[in-house]
Amino acid sequence: MNTPLPSPAPTGVDSPTAASGAVDASKIYGIGDAQVKALDNVTVSFEAGQFTAIMGPSGSGKSTLLHCLAGLDTLTSGATFIGGTYLASLNDKELTELRRTDVGFIFQAFNLIPTLTAEENIKLPMMLGGETGDAAWIDQVVSAVKLDGRLKHRPSELSGGQQQRVAVARALASRPKIIFADEPTGNLDSETGAEILDFMRRAVREFGQTIVMVTHDPGAASYADRVVFVGDGKIVGDLPDPTADQIIDHMKHADS
């Protein structure tokens, strides 16, 4: 199902199927001579049912953009939206509820609760809302990320790859409108990282999920349908249907 844009549609964002986006978004840290403009008047949209990667050098603003899109950080000016909702229009309680129900998160550090089992970690966002979720769907997700037989284990009893599988399953379990992933394979070996990315790719292709992922790795970004390049707080490139070689070539030209 296509998600309509907020009405009226923001200037510069004309897609009828945008799951998330930013409009004239700026983020400034510090004051005076120490002031840093992490985002500089960014307008961008992310399509529903697509896997988009955001890339850029360290300090380019890519993680700041992701965090502002996800409602984990606030803008200095401009707007971000998820589905039909501008995040700035929500109070703290409403924003917390939106993040719980409509958004999934996957972080490099896994962010699992050490005292809970894998199963409890997966179901945690729903448990916080007094819900049990769709058991058949959760079983499908657990099977797809190969966690059968590990659900009663706590994070300390799981490998790094298995912990990230739990984090991916948790992000998918409530069928959110969009998943934001920040360097989700950064702490994993290449084989395990490829398996996680392959499942994220499948989640988009087979389950219709929407994923926006920050990564520094051209190989990881090549799993995406589209790569958005960020530099000095601005959108500096947009590459559809990318290959790793195309991504590397684009980055080389950007640095030259």
The model's pLDDT over 189-201, given as tens digits with 9 standing for 90+, comes to 888 889 889 989 9
For residue 170, the domain's CATH number is 3.40.50.300
Number of structural domains, the chain? Answer: 1
| Helix-, strand-, coil-residue percentages of the chain, each rounded to 5 | 40, 25, 35
Residue 23 lies in a domain: no
Does residue 250 register a pLDDT over 80? yes
Which residue type sits at 231?
G
The closest alpha carbon to 225, from 251, 248, 205, belongs to: 205
Which residue type sits at 244?
A
- Mean pLDDT, the chain, whole residue set: 88
Residue 191 lies in a domain: yes
Residue 81 lies in a domain: no
Residue 80 lies in a domain: no
Residue 194 lies in a domain: yes
Tell me which residue range forms the domain holding 160: 49-74+89-255
Residue 8 is predicted with a pLDDT of 37
Whether omega for the bond prior to residue 16 falls within 30 degrees of 0, making it cis, is no
Question: Residue 152 CB: number of other CB atoms within 10 A?
Answer: 10
As a whole number, mean pLDDT of residues 229-256 equals 89
Residue 57 lies in a domain: yes
Residue 63 is predicted with a pLDDT of 94
Give the confidence band of 6 by pLDDT, cuts at 50, 70, 90. Answer: very low
Does residue 57 register a pLDDT over 50? yes
As a whole number, mean pLDDT of residues 29-44 equals 91
Residue 9 lies in a domain: no
Give the confidence band of 222 by pLDDT, cuts at 50, 70, 90. Answer: very high
Q: What is the pLDDT of residues 116-145, one digit of tens each?
A: 999 999 998 888 888 888 888 888 888 888
As a whole number, mean pLDDT of residues 31-40 equals 89
Q: What is the pLDDT of residues 164-191, one digit of tens each?
A: 989 999 998 888 999 999 998 888 888 8
> What is the rounded CA–CA span in Å between residue 175 and residue 71?
18
Question: Residue 133 CB: number of other CB atoms within 10 A?
Answer: 17
In this structure, what token pair is assigned to residue 14? 């004309």
Residue 190 lies in a domain: yes
